[in-house]
Amino acid sequence: MIIGSNIQAIQAARDKAVELGYNSFILSSFVEGETREVAKVHAAIAKEISCTGHPVAAPACVISGGETTVTIRGRGKGGRNQEFALAAAIALDGWQGIVMLSGGTDGTDGPTDAAGALADGESVPRARVMGLAAQACLGENDSYHFFHQLGDLLITGPTFTNVMDLRLVLVG
pLDDT, greater one: 3 or 126: 126
Residue 135 has pLDDT above 80, yes or no: yes
What confidence tens digit (pLDDT) does each residue in 5-46 have?
999 999 999 999 999 999 999 999 999 999 999 999 999 999
Residue 59 preceded by cis peptide, ω within 30: yes
171 has pLDDT over 80: yes
Domain locations in the chain as residue ranges = 6-171
Contact 149/132 with Cβ under 8 angstroms? yes
Domain at 6-171, CATH class: alpha beta
Q: What's the pLDDT band for 59 if we cut at 50, 70, 90?
A: very high
What percent of the chain has a predicted confidence (pLDDT) above 90? Answer: 98
Q: Quick check: 2 pLDDT over 80? A: no
Q: Is the pLDDT of residue 1 over 80?
A: no
Nearest to 170 by CA among 35, 7, 25: 25
Cβ atoms within 10 Å of 25's Cβ, excluding its own = 18
pLDDT digits (tens, 9 = 90+) for 151-166: 999 999 999 999 999 9
Is residue 31 packed enough to be buried (19+ CB in 10 Å), middle (13-18) or exposed (0-12)? buried
Distant-in-sequence, close-in-space partners of 45: CB < 8 Å, separation ≥ 6: 27, 55, 62, 169
> What residues are paired with 23 via a beta bridge?
60
Per-residue model confidence (pLDDT) at position 3? 84
How far is 76 from 159, CA to CA, in rounded Å?
25
Q: Is the CB of residue 134 less than 8 Å from the CB of residue 147?
A: no
CB-based contact 172:58 (threshold 8 Å): yes
pLDDT digits (tens, 9 = 90+) for 49-58: 999 999 999 9
